[in-house]
Every structure is written in C-alpha cells, then in structure tokens.
Structure 1
C-alpha cells in the first residue's frame, strides 16, 4: 500500500495541514475579502483568548465532526484561541488575520516539539483528521479555484487596459450658490446683485515613478465670477472664484516634487506655483479653496500669495525635530522671454520660512518674502486681498516689497483649534513720480475651529481680522482713511467622505478701509464633491 506523502516526508500532519490551508485559505480570502464587510467588522470588535482545554468552548460538542481535531490542537499543541464569551464559533468564516494568528501559534508549538524531540509527531488520529479535512472541503476548494481563476482573468484584463500604472486621478467639483447684500457698493452707488449658481471643477493627475516623488498636472474649469464686480472691492471675493469664468478647460498647475535626501524635499513648479501649497501655511482647517474658508482673505496670510502662479523651486529642510526651514523662489513671468521678464529679470519672489512645532498642540512660523513686481505684471502686492491702495500703493508702477509675517496654530484638543496671523510690509516705488518712496501696510486675523460639532466630521469656523491696509505712505497716493474689519462664519457639514456642504456668511465692515462705505454681506452655500 502506498504511504501518504506526509509519512514519506516524516513531518507532522499539522505542518502539512497548515501548509495546505495557507495556499487555499489565501485564495478564499482574496474572494471573501470583497464579498462581505460583516466578517471584517466582527474581526475588529472581537478579541481572541487562548484556551487550554476544548471543554472551555461552550459551543463545541463531542458529537461535532471536528471535535477530535480541535481537542488535539488545543490540548496537544496549545495553538487554538477562542472568544471572551467562551465560544469557538466553528461555523463562522475564517479571516486572514485569524488564520495567520492560528497558523503562527501552531508552527511555534510544532517547532518547539521538534526541537525538544519529546513527542510523537505523527499519529493515526492526525492522519485521519487530515484526510477528512481534505475530503470534506474538496468541492469547496475546487469552486474557490474556479472563482479565483475568473478573478485573475478579470484583473489581468483591467491591468492591460488601465490608464496608467504610475498615475491616479483625483477630482474636485464645487457647486456654489451665492448672493451679495447691502445698501450701496463702494463709491456710493446702489448695490445691485443677483443670486448666482456657479461651479468650479479640478482634475488632478498624480504620478509617481519611485514611490517617493510626485508629478502633478492639474486641469481646471469654472464660471464663478468675482464678487468685486458688483461690490467694488476685492474684500468680498470668494476663496474659490476663477480668473477665467467661462468654464473653459486649461492646465493651471504643473509641478514635480522629490526627496533630495531623507531630510530635504524639493518641489519644482513649471507653472501655477503657490507658496501656500508648497510650505506650511498654519491654517489647516480653512486653507483649502474647496473645503476651507469661503473668503479669499480667510484662507491664510497674504504673505503666501507672493509670486502666485509662477514658476520656480521650493526646498524644505526637515531633519525630524521640531524645527523646519523652507526657502522658495517663484517668477511670475518665467515663460516670457521679452525684456523685463523671464526667470530672473521679471517679477519674482524670494521666500523664506522657519517653522517651529515643539508639540502637536502648538505650531508657529516666521516668514519673509522679498517681491519685485513690474508694470507688465500688473502690481498686486497682496494677491487681491485688502484694499485697492494696499495692492498698488503707488499705482501701476514697478514696486518692490519686503514682507514680514508671523503665523501660529494652537490646538489644545482634537476638537478645538485657534489660529491666526499678522503681517507687515514695506513697499518701495521703483519707477514713476514716486520712485524711491516707501509705503507701509499692516494686516492680521484670528481663526477659531470647533470640530465634530453636531456630527463627527463637521466643523464650525469663525474668522475675524483686518485685511491689508496702508498705514503710512510717503507718496502722493496717500493712506487708507479708516479700518475695515473682516468677519466670516461658516459651518462645514460632512455629508459623506466625498461630499461636504458649507453654508457661510461673510461681513465686511467699512469696505476699502473707509467708514463712508456701507457694510456689505456675502452669503454662500458651497457643495464640494471629491472623487
């Protein structure tokens, strides 16, 4: 009579059974993994406990066909675990985690027995149990092999026809309902505004070639018109309006980021470079245009708008401690070869920042930016936040500026965040009648975020501050007369992981830093879809 193969190999049938079920349980797991989430939930909530006798299982009876196998594994090998309520649940589906835990325990015990050579490794009972297991599950295993073969064929087809092995698509779509309210617009004329329904769509292609690098190409289309066209001030602008509001599709961002070493991260922007995405902006709850603040000023400090849309490089050094250092250079007209433009001769920004985070509770940054803007780039010192005079203190003439900023975030608990920023700018006229003269600007803001308010994932936000204002000017263009205040309230409602609805209200007191102008209100309902 031919001897069973396990007898020829002189190994324990437990090892053979374990090997047999590794191969077949892996196949079964790959199918069951997609079939139900109930077993996974049970796996996560139940804790296994080691037992020393099969009699400890209240739901295992001597009449059960697998009783002897369990008894041997429990009492002879000591590698079977049960549940805290004293059950084994023999009819329950086996998860891959449970199989791995049981297999590891059995292998450890068998190795111990082999090392000590104090036990009979092969018994007739073991052989009979193994034969019965093979016969009992032969039909099921054959079915599983067929199902897995089908899945492998479908997977091969998908891999052969997929878009790319290195690229994934991440999209965002905004539906926005908005209106502006108030008695008059800046300048005294009646404020006339209609309720609008508009959109913005972004498609990001993220590619990685080494696993630690990333190439980003972003396409954008939208028709959200700036509120400044009806209010007469950029202070009422939404944080997600678009420059070309006709839903035409264009590539507005291309960059490549990689690690120069474990401590140095480099990002090269070919177009669409933005400091607030390249470095820490210290306003994590409200910085996003699609899921953050509703206003342009409420997203982050205007110092991060320097050089926006340009090309250049950003380097961040983070050795792993509480201190990190970032440096950047962005040129707004880097692609223009004409005189007064280009990578080094045109409008440009040199930026540096030191970030200090001694704990998860507190995070503070010190920022500096030196900016040169010439007439051809349409001087705009603060990225269309603050007053018109603050953005062009000398008119449309070449201007340099030294910008200083401090930013901080304080999070005493996971549900409560306080943040803010302050900035001071010294601008100098480089041409025109006021050449050599200086103007000073100041701005500040405070933010409050209450998380999980009403429902997990929801955020109530309040932002209050003063947008950029010219406080002193040596030129004949003068100073801002009074002080505007920015008040913003919003409530981010998490409908699902992919849908967020944000009602919000923006109030601008004394628009354009002039108390002769009436208060203006902007109401919005933003719905953001991510996919």
Structure 2
C-alpha cells in the first residue's frame, strides 16, 4: 500500500473502528455533505495561509495536494490543521483520495492497453534473458570463485655507459686485460628483448566476507635485460617473481583471509606475501610501472615483500589501523640445520636461523585522499630486500647479517579532481644490520643502510583515462659501514618517466624510460675513472581480463 494511503487509512480506521457504536440518528449525513461543500479544492499548498514550511506535516500535506489533488481547504483560504478531525471529516477526506486513486488506476490500465504490444515484446526479452542467466549459472565455473587475470608484454633494452674498469685503478694493468665494465654489461644485458608476465587470480569467498586467493604466475624475465645475471642491474618491476622458473606456471599466492568480529581481519597462507597482510598500503604511486625500486613505499627493508609461509592480523577502528604479521620464505622445508659447506641452502622451517623470516608491525592513519604509515620489520636468516632494490654492498649486508632491524615512514596525498596537481607518494627507510659475535661476515656488523623516493602521478592527461608519472629516489644504499675500516660511498640515484595510453577498459600501452646513476654503488670502486650507469626503456602492453 502507498505511504499516503497508509497515512490516510490509519486515523480513519481508528475512528471508524472505535468501540463507540454509532446509531443512524447519530450519523448526520447532511452534516458531512455540508462539510464537503464548504471546502474548496486547492492545487498548491501555498494556497493555505495557515500552513508554514516549518510545520512537521508540511511535506506530507504538500504531496497530497500537489501530486494527488485530494485535499481541500476552507473558503477563507485556511487548512485549519490544528483543529480536531471528526469522524465524518475523516470519511470525506478518505473518500476523496480513494476516488483519485481509482482515477490513477484507470489511467494505468489505459496505458497498459495502449502499449500492450511493446510490453509483450519486453516480456519476451526478459524471459529470454532469464533463460540465458539460468544456463550460465548451470555451467559456470563456480558459484563462489571469480577468475581474473593480467598479461603483460614488454619490448625494450638497456644501454650502459661510463669508463669504470673491472679492477678499479688500471695504471698497472693493460686495457686489454682490464675492460670497461660498460662493455661487459652491454654484451650480457644490452640486447633488445620481448618478455611476458602472466598472472591468473582465483578469488573464492564462502561467506561473502572471507577470501581464499590462489594466484598462478608465469614469465620469462630471468635472463632478460630486466632481470639478468649481473647483480644490481635487475631493477625492473617484473624481474623477480617467477616461482617455478622461466615459462613454467607456478603458485605465486595461496592464502585465506577472514574477519574476526567487526574490527579484526586474519590471514594465513602457505604462500603469502608481507603486504597481503597489511591493512594499509601507504602509497598511491602505481606499483607495477617501471622500476622495482619504487614498489616498496620508499622503504624496501621495512616493506620487503617477503613471500612464503605466514600469518597476520590487522585491526581497524575508524581511520586508524594496526597490522602485525610473520613470513618465513623457507617455511616449507623440513631440515633446519645449516650445512657445513652450503649453509642454509635447501634448509629452513619456521622460527629458526635458516627460515629467511620477517616479522612486521605497522600503524597507519588514512583519510579521504591521504594516508600515513610507520612500519617496523625484524628480518633474519637471510631474509632481506630483493636483488635490484639495493646496491650490491647493501644487498650483501642484508643477506649476510644475523639480523636486520628496519623502519619505514611513508605517506601519500592525491587531489580530489584531475588537473595539473599530481598525486604525491613519498617514503623513507632506515636499516641496521648485525652480524653477531662470530662468523665470516663480521664486517657487516653495525652497517646502516637507507632509502627514499618521491613518486608523482597525473590522471586524465591529454585524454580522459590516460595517466602520466615520474619518480626519483635512491635504492637501498650504505650510509655507515659500522665496524669496517672504509668510508661509505654507495649512493645510486634512480629516475623513471612513463605515460599510459588507456586504449580500452582492458588494454593499456605504456612507454617508459629510466636511469640508474650508479647501480653497482660502492662495488664499482669510485675514484677510478668515471663510474658506471644504466639507461633503459621499454614499451609495455597490459591486458586485463
């Protein structure tokens, strides 16, 4: 029943069904007729001089007058809304509105008759759609699982420059025996190559609030110009996540995420990554654009994206969140005792010196278009930053240290509308490595490394849907050598520039350029000639389905 019908019938019914029995002599029909005749029909609520917008029933009365035309006023232009309503006045008002409803119903019947043919066609189409939907439901892959995927093609190359010699100062060694490092790098990683990356996500929900994610991944970047054999040069985004080797499909993610009450979310997985278990990712700069250096919110030590067996929990309340998680990259191994010659190679388990483990805690605050987060990560057993996200010296410090304590502070802001002002993402990280009391790697004890970045992104550039961006920063580099007897001179600056053409909703083409000023850092023996640098570019095409 319509709302206005309920409003009208309620007082009328209460009055007509009252326990007071009305006799024929008490029901003055002439009085009802005189009441009805004394009223004048109105077409706008403004015709009532005694009805103000501040009245609590103003909107309801306005609807009855202007939409249904079944409310009349007194000859003096008043409605007299505060006057008590008698039973016969309620009956007269109800009768007038019900007559109007009958008119509307008849009008609808005439319209249905006039468009009878068109309505029949529409009904046939709806029936056909229902049949197709039923067929799809009967043959669908799963009632609880959604399949999505992304395929990426990359065509590009690297170019290397500088006069750095392999052995440092070349005064005592002939040039034929001491080639420039750029020549070796160009020979090993200077070819134009065409590579791919494929990801298939199977997302399953059993309750509508939980998530079981299975990701299949394959690619062939291991020997490409962007993930090749020279340590320190495999810096692009797609060069490190091929779980089963080149051109082999492997399980890249397998974890289950579910709510605990209204504020907590738990995650557990046999193959889960650190960032899968964080309530907030403190960056809006695209993580899959060009250099992997700019993927870690400026702090590759704190946000090292360790991947393996793990579990985590996060809590949210309003704009605040707190996250904690643990990941063991070698959590699937059964032997935890290091080998005398191979160390922890092929060893692991959970919670031991060969686990390659990380424990992370994050606190974050997010607003409508901004966010800030602080994170702390303890890593040990060989866990650390991915190769390419630090200089060789910094990578060695992570890999060789008994433990590393890392902190990161990251933030972002984005404008409400597209324009000349870009979104801004920035972050800074600090890491302190310790080697313990004994071992072959005491030289890393007390080494401090740092990193930072600033990423800018413009949306709807030139054409709606297109985007452009650039980032600058330093991959993890040594700033303090601790107990070592040499000075730190390990810096390496990185830049990237890109423009994304959104060809369709599912296809984009992104040309990109990047530059690394000193990818080998301190390992290139600064002071012996003019150093070593890396310039590269590629064309990336992304298909989402």
Mark yes or no: TM-score above 0.5: yes
From 519, 522, 527, the counterpart of 2:536:
522
For 1:372 and 1:494, locate their aligned partners in 2 and report how far apart those are by CA, in whole Å: 42
Q: What does 1:254-293 align with in structure 2 at a 5 Å threshold? A: 254-275=254-275, 278-287=278-287, 289=288, 293=289
Higher deviation after alignment, 161-170 or 514-523: 514-523
8 Å CA contact 2:379, 2:405 repeated in 1? yes
For 2:392 and 2:448, locate their aligned partners in 1 and report how far apart those are by CA, in whole Å: 14
Partner of 1:117: 94
Call closer, same or farther: CA 1:529–1:326 in 2, change over 3 Å.
Answer: same
3-state SS of paired residue (1:117):
helix
Partner of 1:90: none
8 Å CA contact 1:372, 1:400 repeated in 2? yes
Call closer, same or farther: CA 1:227–1:512 in 2, change over 3 Å.
Answer: same
The reply to whether residue 200 of structure 1 matches residue 197 of structure 2 is yes
Q: What does 1:295-374 align with in structure 2 at a 5 Å threshold? A: 295-300=291-296, 301-306=299-304, 308-321=306-319, 323-340=320-337, 341-345=348-352, 346-357=355-366, 359-374=367-382
- Residue 311 of structure 1 deviates from its aligned partner by 1.6
Call closer, same or farther: CA 1:245–1:454 in 2, change over 3 Å.
Answer: farther
| Superposition RMSD in Å | 3.4
For 2:515 and 2:92, locate their aligned partners in 1 and report how far apart those are by CA, in whole Å: 78
Q: What does 1:440-519 align with in structure 2 at a 5 Å threshold? A: 440-474=448-482, 480-513=488-521, 514=524, 515=526, 516-519=530-533
8 Å CA contact 2:152, 2:543 repeated in 1? yes
For 1:239 and 1:115, locate their aligned partners in 2 and report how far apart those are by CA, in whole Å: 78
- Residue 221 of structure 1 deviates from its aligned partner by 1.1
For 2:92 and 2:497, locate their aligned partners in 1 and report how far apart those are by CA, in whole Å: 70
Partner of 1:390: 394
The reply to whether residue 437 of structure 1 matches residue 441 of structure 2 is no
> Which digits, 9 at most, give the CA deviation of each residue in 1:32-75, with x for residues without a partner?
xxxxxxxxxxxxxxxxxxxx79xxxxxxxxxxxxxxxxxxx998
8 Å CA contact 2:301, 2:430 repeated in 1? no
3-state SS of paired residue (2:286):
coil
The reply to whether residue 417 of structure 1 matches residue 423 of structure 2 is yes
- Residue 260 of structure 1 deviates from its aligned partner by 0.9
The answer for unaligned runs of 5 or more in structure 1 is 1-10, 16-51, 54-72, 80-112
3-state SS of paired residue (1:302):
coil
Call closer, same or farther: CA 1:414–1:234 in 2, change over 3 Å.
Answer: farther
The answer for unaligned runs of 5 or more in structure 2 is 6-42, 45-63, 71-89, 167-179, 338-347
For 2:165 and 2:453, locate their aligned partners in 1 and report how far apart those are by CA, in whole Å: 23
3-state SS of paired residue (1:121):
helix
From 406, 411, 415, the counterpart of 1:408:
411
For 1:221 and 1:197, locate their aligned partners in 2 and report how far apart those are by CA, in whole Å: 15
For 1:147 and 1:307, locate their aligned partners in 2 and report how far apart those are by CA, in whole Å: 51
For 1:76 and 1:308, locate their aligned partners in 2 and report how far apart those are by CA, in whole Å: 65
8 Å CA contact 2:451, 2:476 repeated in 1? yes
3-state SS of paired residue (1:455):
coil
Call closer, same or farther: CA 1:418–1:134 in 2, change over 3 Å.
Answer: closer
- Residue 356 of structure 1 deviates from its aligned partner by 2.5
TM-score, structure 1 as length reference: 0.71
Call closer, same or farther: CA 1:463–1:477 in 2, change over 3 Å.
Answer: farther
Call closer, same or farther: CA 1:151–1:387 in 2, change over 3 Å.
Answer: same
Higher deviation after alignment, 409-418 or 500-509: 409-418
3-state SS of paired residue (1:199):
strand
- Residue 232 of structure 1 deviates from its aligned partner by 2.9
- Residue 285 of structure 1 deviates from its aligned partner by 2.3
For 2:91 and 2:440, locate their aligned partners in 1 and report how far apart those are by CA, in whole Å: 95
The reply to whether residue 155 of structure 1 matches residue 155 of structure 2 is no
Larger Rg: 2
How many pairs were matched up? 423
TM-score, structure 2 as length reference: 0.69
